[in-house]
């Protein structure tokens, strides 16, 4: 039976970077959301109906979404409520497609909040120094502190997520260190004995 690994951590802590080191199929929710915004007209119509003052362009314009969230934080929940069911369907499809794999990686920012995790899921918490996280976030094209704060408001506290997790990876953003840590976790998960 396929083992599901959920990746948890702060925005900008390097969750996707860690997820990609496992060498198994990754469900990256952020990438899927971008596809929805650029290709899903039904989603656009629903968002336009809910937020007619802000959503006007198709493909969905991220600036318009940002403006809606910055104008009223309740709008973020409206957006999540429309996008989340589509993500859930995509996740179901991804899991069916990868049924025969030993492991699948779930890189979903709202994994816990949207109850997309299962009891048997193994959770890996990615921890990074606040200074590192802030430096990385500021390099992002769409960096906006107020926007990030709004996203954090709908997320569970990091201490709660860390407590839920089976494993913690301290991310120093060095590939060799992360690969080594991931290798140890994979061996433990697959009950393989270390050859060293």
What pLDDT does 21 receive? 97
Query: What distance in Å separates the CA atoms of residue 51 and residue 67, rounded to the nearest whole number?
Result: 11
Binned at pLDDT 50, 70 and 90, residue 194 comes out as very low
What is the tens place of the pLDDT at every residue in 120-177? 999 999 999 999 888 888 888 677 889 989 999 999 999 999 999 999 999 998 999 9
Average pLDDT on 56-84 reads: 95
What pLDDT does 193 receive? 42
Given a cut of 80, whether residue 108 has pLDDT beyond it is yes
Domains of the chain from N-terminus onward: 3-189 (3.40.50.300)
The answer to whether residues 124 and 5 touch, using CB atoms and an 8 Å cutoff, is yes
Given a cut of 90, whether residue 60 has pLDDT beyond it is yes
Binned at pLDDT 50, 70 and 90, residue 195 comes out as very low
Average pLDDT on 181-192 reads: 89
The answer to whether residues 105 and 24 touch, using CB atoms and an 8 Å cutoff, is yes
């Amino acid at each position: 039976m396929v083992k599901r690994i959920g990746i948890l951590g702060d925005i900008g802590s390097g969750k996707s970077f860690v997820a990609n080191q496992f060498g198994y199929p990754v469900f990256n929710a952020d990438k899927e959301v971008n596809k929805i915004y650029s290709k899903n007209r039904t989603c656009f119509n629903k968002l336009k109906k809910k937020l007619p003052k802000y959503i006007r362009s198709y493909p969905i314009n991220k600036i318009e979404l940002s403006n809606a969230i910055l104008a009223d934080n309740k709008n973020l929940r409206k957006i999540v409520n429309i996008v989340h069911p589509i993500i859930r369907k995509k996740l179901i499809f991804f899991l069916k497609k990868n049924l025969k794999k030993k492991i699948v990686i779930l890189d979903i920012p709202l994994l816990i909040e949207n109850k997309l995790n299962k009891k048997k899921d193994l959770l890996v918490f990615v921890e990074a120094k606040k200074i590192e996280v802030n430096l990385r976030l500021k390099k992002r094209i769409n960096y906006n502190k107020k926007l990030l704060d709004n996203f954090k408001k709908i997320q569970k506290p990091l201490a709660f997520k860390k407590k839920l997790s089976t494993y913690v990876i301290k991310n120093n953003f060095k590939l060799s260190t992360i690969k080594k840590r991931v290798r140890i976790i994979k061996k433990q998960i697959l009950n393989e004995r270390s050859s060293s």
